[in-house]
Amino acid sequence: MFIVTSYPLAVVFCFVTMLCWGSWANTQKLSRGRWPFPLFYWDYSLGILLTSLILAFTMGSIGEFGRSFQDDLMQASLAALGNALIGGIIFNLANLLLVIAIDISGMAIAFPIGIGLALVIGVITNYAPSESGQAWLMTAGVITILLGILLDAAAYKQLPANGNSPATKGIFYSILAGVTMGFFYKYVSASLAIDFSFPESGKLTPYTAMVVFSLGILASNFIFNWFLMRQPINGRRSTFQEYFKGNARMHGIGILGGSIWGIGMLFNLLASKTAGAALAYGLGQGATMIAAVWGVFVWKEFASLHASKKWIIYTMFAFFLIGIGLLVYSKII
């Protein structure tokens, strides 16, 4: 299978993750108003699974290192499979909350608060003292990103239309999504082999873990997403009959969104052993900045912010950039 063995390449893969995780929500924005988000989310989940299978049977089944996807799946222990599956279920709950937050308040608020908070929690829960890297620099990076999150929330509260309960509702679901999102990665990481080149018996390669993780997302959809179809937190109710009547374009947008996110997740797992789980997750969740760029400059979600308050947005971006830089540098020295 294809693996990542150098730190510079691992950082590149983490930045690809950042771009993917920060960009997939554009597909949700494209479907908004024409397609209830629970219906979009079924296709999104299918997109993750299909992409995982394609990459498992291609990148995950070539080369001289590791095990092929099929061989790896056959030898996997129940504990490893269970960890990857639990990771998918936790992620799915968190991501649905994030999608709700995006639907209420937009990308420029849901991502910096939700995923920024997930970054902070994820770096803390995934950091192992045995990892190389400077803990104090990681801590400084996390604190800097936290300041960026607070600035983003402050800017959102300054919008003329958002100084009331809708703003509070959007921020609430963003925080709930971030707290939940911060815990999924450690389960996936626990399912992985220590050495991808020569994986130990019972553990999983990133390709197998990704497929099982995707199955956890899709399976839990029949609980979480089905509930949201019947009892939507935002928007109207939807049905499976409506889903199957959807046109190819609408289904394609959701599948594309899942494919983009799935590529980012696999690249992150491939980089995790070389970069360290805490750093790989932290850099990947730098997607907060990418999503904020989309939300601010493409979707114009802060267009109504008074000119005298624009400095808050630019300062937020500065804090995110500095925080991400500190996370990268913590592994170099």
pLDDT over 90 (residue 20) = yes
CA distances from 137 to 111, 142, 219, 288, 315 (A): 23, 9, 39, 20, 20
- pLDDT 10s digits, 142-173: 889 888 888 887 887 787 765 445 567 888 89
Residue 79 lies in a domain: yes
Total of domains in the chain: 1
pTM of the model: 0.87
- pLDDT 10s digits, 294-303: 888 888 878 8
CA distance 98 to 180: 10
- pLDDT 10s digits, 243-264: 999 999 999 999 999 999 999 9
- pLDDT 10s digits, 63-107: 888 899 999 999 999 999 999 999 999 999 999 998 888 888 887
Residue 190 lies in a domain: yes
Residue 2 lies in a domain: no
CA distance 8 to 277: 15
Residue 127 lies in a domain: yes
Confidence (pLDDT) at 91: 95
Residue 121 lies in a domain: yes
Token representation of residue 200: 């130990």
Which residue matches tokens 């050495």?
A: 195
Residue 108 lies in a domain: yes
Q: What is the mean pLDDT of residues 107-111?
A: 80
CA distances from 288 to 127, 198, 284, 326 (A): 20, 34, 9, 16
Residue 1 lies in a domain: no
Bridge partners, 192 (sequence order): 204
Q: What are phi and psi of 237, to 5 degrees?
A: -70, 155
Bridge partners, 204 (sequence order): 192
Cα 252 from chain centroid?
A: 20
Least confident range of 29-43, 51-65, 178-192: 29-43
Domain extent at residue 127: 7-332
CA distance 87 to 174: 19
Q: How confident is the model at residue 304 (pLDDT cuts 50, 70, 90)?
A: confident
